Structure 1
Amino acid sequence: MKDLPKDLWHHLAEEDVFETLKSDHHEGLSDQEVQERLRLFGENSITAQKPISPIKRFLLQFHNPLIYILLVATAVTFFLEEYIDSAVIFAVVLINAIIGYMQEAKAEDAINSLKKMMSASATVIRGGKKISVPATQLVPGDIVLLASGDKVPADMRLFKNRDLQIDESALTGESVAVQKERASLDKDTVLGDRVNMAFAGTLVTYGSGMGVVSGTGDDTETGKIADMISQAVSLDTPLTQKIHAFSKILLYVILTLAVITFIVGLFHGQHWVETFMAAVALAVAAIPEGLPAVVTITLAIGVRRMAIRNAIVRKLPAVETLGSTTIICSDKTGTLTENQMTVQKVFAGDQEFDLDGSGYQPDGEIKTTDGETLKDLEEGLRLCLLAGTISNDSELKQDGGLWQVQGDPTEGALIASAVKAGLQQSEQMDKYPRMDIIPFESDRQYMATLHEFDDQNNVIFLKGSLERTLIRCKDALDAQGNSLALDRDKITATAERFAAMGLRVLCIAMQKVPKDEQTFDRFQSQEAAEQLTFIGLQAMIDPPRKEAISAVATCQKAGIAVKMITGDHALTARAIAQQIGITNPDPDADEHRVLTGRELAEMSDHELLKEVEKVAVFARVAPEQKLKLVTALQAKKHVVAMTGDGVNDAPALKKADIGVAMGIAGTEVSKEAADMVLTDDNFATIEGAVEEGRNVFDNLVKFITWILPTNLGQGMVIMLAVLLGATLPVLPVQALWLNMTTAVLLGLMLAFEPKEPGIMKRMPREPDSPILNAEMLGRIVSVSTLLLIGAFGLFQWALAQGESEEVARTLAVTLFVVVQSVFLFNCRSLTVSLFQTPAFSNPWIWAGIGAMLLAQLAFIYTPVMNLLFQSAPLELTHWIMMLAYGALVLVLVEIEKGIWRARKAKAMKK
């Protein structure tokens, strides 16, 4: 009994299902059998993910090579009794860890939130009696009754079905409720097509049915998704990968220089303690202590900016990851589309009409195919729209400014289309009271209602499938409502054309009956007869969001491929993709080719890797296949963003480099698995987030390009002094002062730098590209060399003039501050000339320079700072020399930027 067949319940014959589960249609299970199976299978609940403890989460904030360097520096300086140095370095590390912890403190509750997908209770048959039990107490073999409004409590094979429709959009991505059937299906039927099954967590929207439980807890489809979420490894983001690589290189460089300094000092005959202190001074000077804090703060600023643009970021590095994105894999339903069925085409009175507007919002116009707005509602069209809104068991309700359907989404679309013609459902119901109804059934494929109509007649309105409705029609109506010969071929061709556009087509017919006919008795007895009058077709689809169309186009211009991965049907997916502008990138293939879940299942991993980049639309995809597609794209070195709102999207959201969930329509599961949540459910928000992400990375590169010359310059100054056996121009405590004050008061201001023009017109960065390119590395070396020449030169000049070591060192330290201040202007754009950058577009730059000036004046002229940092007051001539040298550096850097621009322009011409 424990070894139940996996994923084959839809394929087994009904009697084999009951035989395998050892259950009975009428009696169900005995209490004794239930207890035994509870012991064997456990409760019907999903195993919770063990959360990371707060202490471990906090300690993980220190898991970074650059942090390791700072911790070692803390320990070394403390050992050498340089307590101020040690305290300052450790304070930086601690602040960085606290900021990161606070941002990521929210635990990963994705699996726990899946418990909410299970209903609280279930109606079952046990021992021949109908009882209500907690859903957690269900076991395989239980007989469960389902009714409209119920949440399905476990996976089950259906064996009774009366017009049962289940909304499975959260699990499969299907945009409309699924009409359930009983017949056995092929073994390889994909999840979304298993119409004889009901799945845990889905919602019954119409009808009733009975099923035998085939899977509970972790063995349900929802449970399998929970397992995939727990196994999906969250990858390091491109930024964290690059920072780690950069930190390792920096670690090796610093250690190498420190060792060389120590060896050279010993070679010169210096005492080992003095030499060791010089090596420590070099290491402390070369370590960019402010880098982790500034990176974290810059990302936090990006988080705040994104929140203003309706994107809530749960994990800091996700801000930059969007800027690195090369592919966005988007769910269709509710992400690219409205998740609201909308009638777009009507064929009535032998004419075709277009309806604008989207979703259940009853706003829009009816237009002719020539684009002219219809002013007068002719009788043929009126009857078609009237039938749709009163032969209808659903309602449209406005809740908080949003229109929502209570009932079937298809019927909601019909109500909205009628309102666009001025036909309010409640008014028409009062005008044409309902007298009787034939509910929709899958074997009948239509719904019919009987209404009072006029003084002589009642009327039957019928809506259903084209195949089962048109065959019963004898004639049609023209535009004025008069009888017209029935042109079956034209109607069928029109319906097929609508279907090829991905539209779901309903056929609507009517029959006038004598006034004394109060029931459907005669109508049902004449089902084989051609007795109906065809009045029209209404064709609908879950339409694309208008803003998504422009957002997709912008992303594609920015070099970001957009792929649709949906559980919906291939025809619908292709139609939406065409409307949005998503096409295959492979020039040798059909630009609108769709790869289905069944085709994916037949592919080997090698074949998938060959195809995954060529195809832009994947339809009828199961949850595990979404995860497989994301993994394949990552294997091709892509940075993948995945959007979604359903439970079925959660594993792929977690696996992707950045998972983006929908805040309004999204399930709690998808939100908890994601790195970012869109509060407006708008794909267009992703475009703004990508733009913000690119700007964050730009500003980080600007900061790194700006800060490294300080550290490298200090290291070179100290190393040169050791090589020459000279006095150190910069002491360790002074190096710390430089590193921390300039990083926070100057460098951090670059985080507020506005976006540069054309940021969304350039291609994404190559995922394997380093943080700094050859141009930036060259600039860092050149500015470091200029700092070396200026600081060491001024230090030696001051000593030669008879100045004290304190004055000479203060002069060297302050020169670093002056050069870094002017270099800050150079770094506002790494390519565009300073003289073409608006001077006040970032007022924080000026505020930072002002604050740095005040801090440095305190460093130079206050006795307490003179005591702590061994500094001394400077004279006016010293300031003139330093400012002149700073101006020289500014001009030289701009000349170098101009040379690089000329090279690039020349290369482009070639």
Structure 2
Amino acid sequence: MDRPRKDAGPGTVARADAPRPAPHELAPHEVVLIHGSDLDRGLDEHEARDRLERYGPNVLPRADTAGWPVRWLRQFHHPLIYILLASAAITLLLGDLVDSAVILAVLLVNAVVGFVQESRAEAALDELRAMARTRARVVRGGRVAEVPSEELVPGDLVLLEAGDKVPADLRLVRVAELCADESALTGESVPVAKDEVVLPQATPVTDRRNMVYSGTVITSGTATGIVVATGAETELGRIHRFVTEAEPLATPLTRKIARFSAILTAAILALSALTFAVGMVRGEPVKETFIAAVALAVAAIPEGLPAVVTITLAIGVSRMAARRAVIRRLPAVETLGSTTVICTDKTGTLTENRMTVRVIRTPDRTVTVTGAGYAPVGELVDEDGRRADLGEDAALRWSLLAGACCNDAAFLGDRASVAGDPTEAAMLVAADKAGLGHEHARARFPRIAEQPFRPERRYMATLHETPDRPGEWIVFVKGATERLVRMCAWEMMAGGECRPLDAGAALRSAEELAGQGLRVLATAMCRVPATAGPEESLDAALRAGTLVFTGMQAMLDPPRPGAVRAVRACRDAGISVKMITGDHATTAAAVARRIGILPGGDVLTGEDLARLTGPEFSAAVERAAVFARVSPEQKLRLVVALQERRHVVAMTGDGVNDAPALRRADIGIAMGRSGTEVAKDAADMVLTDDDFASIEAAAEEGRGVFDNLTKFIVWTLPTNAGQGLVILVAILFGLTLPMLPLQILWINMITAVTLGLTLAFEPKEPGIMRRPPRDPGRPLLTGALVVRILLVAGLMIAGALWLFEWELRRGAGLAEARTAAVNLFVMVELCYLFNCRSLTLPVWRVGLFSNRWSLAGVAAQILAQLALTYLPVMNRLFHTAPIGLDAWLRVLALAGAATLIVAVDKRLRGMHL
């Protein structure tokens, strides 16, 4: 509806406080009266300018967004980032400019990536606004003019023809054979026929055939419509508001890291404070106690975690791209591995998005058509399994000719797309598979007159010349079976003879095919003498009711070849698949049965959902497997309801109507080929082949990515905890610090790169898609992981303190003793790495060479430790000293013992963390 005027005068739009019926429930003259317009002259230029001032331009409003400085600073608003900033400040205070610069560089890279991704997400709204910008032909002051769509106002009279993009929401007042492609707005997979009839108030948007909406496209016919809504008041504007309001959620990974970071921050501050307090109580110097507290904080901070998370996700992006899934936002990689529900569109994702004739039924025969899509690959097979012979079946031949000649569709290029109705394209392909060749048939029977399809007629009829009978013309008709049986007196048999039509049998046959989810079009023909004019002859043949019924062609949009397997794989992996489509419930249910989605679930329509509230709605959404004829608001509501039931939701879509749900879902998945730019920009992932099977492949990769992130966390947390707690133990017992803060920072930064990062390249675990999804509420710090942390940290603490004190007692210097302790920590981390390479398998089952990066990392770490120990420049920088072979033997023995103990624990307590 249009926005209220600031004042109301004669002949203008009704007052804002006056109740006004919706345009679709009013007659054309009533809509014209309400909007103060004229069916012949439209608005005059003065009134149009006046309304443009009052209502504003016909554009979608720009959302109030934070400026780039605020968005840039927002990238640093995270507990873990605070810890790293503190770490950088601490290392700077300690005089280590290099390490401080490294930490700040990591923060800068993460911030740049986040800033760019957020900016690209905002572009979705800009693209949505751009969709409505076009030029429109309007009648103003009785003259036709072309104006920018931004200047349209309520009451404008707009002229439409095939190929036009609808510039605003229009109530149709004159219609001539109009069809509109509304798939981007409603999800309807075929063009919708339009007329100007009055509809009930409760008619949903998808069924308002007397309206056309901004952003949709006219595919055929002409019409005149009056503007009833512009800008934010259009259906496109409503979706714009949903996109604005549907803020993207944090992913499972980011939520868990946020919780983990908050716990880690509190733990580090508490332990540092405890260290400082104990030192003060024991009478230690303030400066030394402060250095010890700083050392503990530096030791406990996993500086490499953000970098490793980013790199691991980036590796997942590369792997998914190879499997036709392009990731736009890095956290989406991991989210796929956490997904518990996939809400998928039907057309183009589960199906080919190419209507295909599957069955042709004549009065005495049923023929199956093989092949799928628009390629003329396939054949017609009779009930005995033999190829149908058109020379032996006149009814089949004439049905195919009717489908090819009474047809306005045409293929573009190499049949990659079609101009016209997809159902008509399917009939062309059927003729080609039968060997008729639709182009040859059209050339053989030139069209000389036609009656295009109209909703009230429910058929299309054409008149053609005949090459073999110059004194006759042929009438071909196709349309709804129930309509054609009333126009036919005869039915044709295979031998060419005709008998009286059995209308009941024809209708029962059509109902049977429709019950299988097939769209049925009946065909008929007759010969007429070429005595009168073409138009008169065609009208007379159709009025006479003496057409010959030749059969029915039943078609469907076939499932993609890999969709059935992919749905089954998702079910085996514990991922529920739900179909959400704008198509009718019968069609959606039939496709769902073929693909394997429907068993065990209900089918709900948008009307069903509208009647449900609160717990009833939530329970119904959980139970249902197919949702048909749903609105954009309901799609969004479905996603929210599933998330409230603790599901991690992946949502697919390709149209403008999908954008709000894509943005709200835990992971939005857009179609790369058929998807609108709005959907792609609102999504986290884009499928380059529009295939549901690619979602299943990406989910498998996502699980592998999360596994590898978990492996790194399982590896890094115990080592960081060990380094921090060794400082605390030393303070508690009044011991000399076994490691300096700078040495601890060396361990953290070097091992994270050379050792921890190699876990990002681990191959996927066997059976990864046969285990249930992870519980979204499961924290990073599980009880088993806490036990592992304490075990490994305890082994490190005991080993380092014993070795440090042993070296001092045997006469080694303080620098040598600390060097031995540092090398022990590194060797334990190095050996522990192999225990972390699999979450489920023991070390010897993983395979030494299954991840060559780990071997390269181990070699690099050993060289780095030798340099730290024996190079004079490193000795000066890090206060280390060369150690002897006997010290190395003790280091290796302690590291081996620790590795053996961890392996035994892994075996006894189970390997899942």
TM-score per shorter chain, which class? Answer: over 0.9
Q: Which residue of 2 aligns with 1:325?
A: 339
Measured in 2, the distance between the counterparts of 1:370 and 1:626 equals: 46
Q: Which moved more, 1:729-738 or 1:390-399?
A: 390-399
Distance 1:177 1:371 in 2: 35
**Uncovered stretches (5+) of structure 1, i.e. residues with no partner:** 586-590, 905-910
- State the AA in 1 paired with 2:330: L
Do 2:528 and 2:541's aligned partners in 1 also have CA atoms closer than 8 Å? no
Determine the structure 1 residue equivalent to 2:766: 757
Q: Is 1:390 matched up with 2:399?
A: no
1:680 Cα deviation (Å)? 1.1
Aligned CA distance change for structure 1 residues 683 and 493 (closer, same or farther; 3 Å) = same
Amino acid at match of 2:831: V
Matched, 1:542 2:557: yes
Partner of 1:407: 420
2:517 pairs, out of 502, 507, 511, with 502
Candidates 649, 659, 665, aligned match of 2:668: 659
For 1:573 and 1:253, locate their aligned partners in 2 and report how far apart those are by CA, in whole Å.
53
Q: Is the contact between residue 179 and residue 221 of structure 2 (CA under 8 Å) also seen in structure 1? A: yes
Is 2:463–2:473's contact at 8 Å kept on the other side of the alignment? Answer: yes
Choose which of 433, 439, 447 in structure 2 pairs with 1:426. Answer: 439
Please, which moves more after superposition, 51-60 or 327-336? 51-60
User: Structure 1 residues 102, 438: CA separation in 2 closer, same or farther (over 3 Å shift)?
Assistant: closer
Structure 2 matches for 1:611-626, cutoff 5 A?
A: 611-626=620-635
Q: Deviations over 1:3-55 (max 9, x none)?
A: 66788211223332122111111111011110111011111111233555444
Are residues 1:562 and 2:577 paired? yes
Query: In the TM superposition, what whole-angstrom CA distance separates every residue of 1:664-723 from its partner, at most 9, and x where no partner exists?
Result: 100011011111111111111110111111111111110001011211111121111111
Alignment partner, residue 357 of structure 2: 343
Letter in 1 for 2:818: R
SS of equivalent residue, structure 1 residue 344: strand
| Rounded Cα–Cα distance in structure 1 between residues aligned with 2:747 and 2:838 | 23
What is the CA-CA distance between 1:362 and the residue it aligns to?
A: 2.3
Q: Deviations over 1:290-315 (max 9, x none)?
A: 11111111111111111121111111
Name the amino acid aligned to 1:406: A
Q: Is the 8 A contact 1:51 1:107 kept in 2?
A: no
* Cα distance in 1 for residues equivalent to 2:308 and 2:208: 53
Counterpart position of 2:455: 442
Partner of 1:455: 468
Query: AA paired with 1:261?
Result: T
| The 10-residue stretch of structure 1 (339-348 or 860-869) with the greater mean CA deviation from structure 2 | 339-348
Q: Is the 8 A contact 2:390 2:396 kept in 1?
A: no
Indicate if the aligned counterparts of 2:187 and 2:582 stay in contact, CA closer than 8 A. yes
Which stretch of the first structure deviates more once superposed, 807-816 or 521-530? 521-530
1:775 aligns with 2:788: no
- 1:155 is matched with which residue: 156, 160, 169? 169
TM value normalised by structure 2: 0.95
Range that drifts further, 509-518 or 266-275: 509-518
Is 1:844 matched with 2:838? Answer: no
1:305 partnered with 2:314: no
* Distance (whole Å) between structure 1 residues aligned to residue 877 and residue 117 of structure 2: 35
Deviations along 1:37-93, one digit per CA (max 9) or x if unpaired, are 101111111123355544433322222211111212333443455545544443443
Structure 2, unaligned runs of 5 or more = 6-14
User: What is the alpha-carbon distance in structure 2 between the residues aligned to residue 88 and residue 433 of structure 1?
Assistant: 77
- Matching residue of 2:594: 579
Residue 197 of structure 2 corresponds to which residue in structure 1?
183
Q: Give CA deviations for 1:519-549 in whole Å, capped at 9, x if unaligned.
A: 1424423544331111110112222222222
Query: Could you say what secondary structure the match of 2:668 adopts?
Result: strand
Q: Offset of 1:366 from its aligned partner?
A: 2.0
The Cα offsets for residues 847-892 of structure 1, whole Å up to 9 and x where unpaired, read as 1111111111111111111011001112122222222222222222
Question: What pairs with 1:677-696 in structure 2 (closer than 5 Å)?
Answer: 677-696=686-705
* Change in 2 beyond 3 A, CA 1:369/1:644: farther
> Of the candidates 440, 463, 483, which is equivalent to residue 498 of structure 2?
483
Task: Map Cα deviations across residues 330-368 of structure 1 (whole Å, 9 max, x no partner).
Answer: 122222222222212211252112223223222222223
d(CA) in 2 for partners of 1:12 and 1:162?
A: 19
What is the CA–CA distance in structure 1 between the aligned matches of 2:376 and 2:644, rounded to whole Å?
Answer: 46
Closer, same or farther: CA 182–95 of 1 in aligned 2, 3 Å: closer
Q: 1:518 Cα deviation (Å)?
A: 5.6
Amino acid across the alignment from 1:656? A
Q: Which residue of 1 aligns with 2:528?
A: 513
> Does structure 2 retain, via aligned residues, the 8 Å contact 1:653–1:659?
yes
- Name the aligned partner's letter for residue 493 of structure 2: D
Q: Which letter maps to 1:410? A: T
2:11 counterpart residue number: none
* Aligned partner of residue 43 in structure 1, secondary structure: coil
- In the alignment, is residue 361 of structure 1 matched against residue 375 of structure 2? yes
Supply the AA of the counterpart residue of 1:404. Answer: S
- 1:412-457 CA-partner distances (Å, limit 9, x unpaired): 1111111111221221122222232222222222211222335334
Shift in alpha-carbon separation, 1:88–1:431, aligned structure 2, 3 A: closer
Q: Do the aligned residues in 1 keep the contact of 2:618 with 2:641 (CA within 8 Å)?
A: yes
Matched, 1:210 2:224: yes
Looking at structure 1, the residues matched to 384 and 573 of structure 2 have their Cα atoms a distance apart, in angstroms, of: 35
Answer yes or no: is the 8 Å Cα contact 1:503–1:539 preserved in 2.
yes
Q: Provide Cα deviations, 1:810-855, integer angstroms capped at 9, x if missing partner.
A: 1111111111111111101122111111221111100111111111
Deviation at 1:376, TM superposition (A): 6.1
Following the alignment from structure 1 to structure 2, what is the Cα–Cα distance between the partners of residues 372 and 526?
36
The 1:422–1:8 alpha-carbon spacing in structure 2 relative to 1, beyond 3 Å, is same
Alignment of 1:733-748 (within 5 A): 733-748=742-757
Task: Tell which deviates more after alignment, 874-883 or 490-499.
Answer: 874-883
Secondary structure of 1:481's aligned partner = coil
- The 8 Å contact of residues 58 and 153 in structure 2, kept in 1 or not, is answered as yes
Q: Would the aligned equivalents of 1:142 and 1:212 in 2 still touch at CA under 8 Å?
A: yes
Q: What RMSD, in angstroms, separates the aligned Cα atoms of the two structures?
A: 2.0
1:856 and 2:865 matched? yes
Superposed displacement of residue 275, structure 1: 0.7
> What residue in structure 2 maps to residue 907 of structure 1?
none
Amino acid at match of 1:308: A
Alpha-carbon distance in structure 2 between the residues aligned to 1:643 and 1:205: 26
Shift of 1:584: 5.9
Return the match for 1:272 from 264, 286, 307: 286
Partner of 2:514, secondary structure, is: helix
Aligned-pair identity in percent equals: 51
- 1:636 matches 2:645: yes
Aligned partner letter, 1:414 = M
| Alpha-carbon separation, structure 1, partners of 2:128 and 2:101 | 46
Q: Residues 570, 690 of structure 1: CA spacing in aligned structure 2 closer, same or farther, 3 A cutoff?
A: same
Q: What is the CA–CA distance in structure 2 between the aligned matches of 1:903 and 1:451, rounded to whole Å?
A: 74
Question: How far apart are the structure 1 equivalents of 2:515 and 2:684?
Answer: 37
In the alignment, what sits opposite 1:596? Answer: 605
Q: How does 1:111-260 map to 2 (within 5 A)?
A: 111-118=125-132, 120-260=134-274
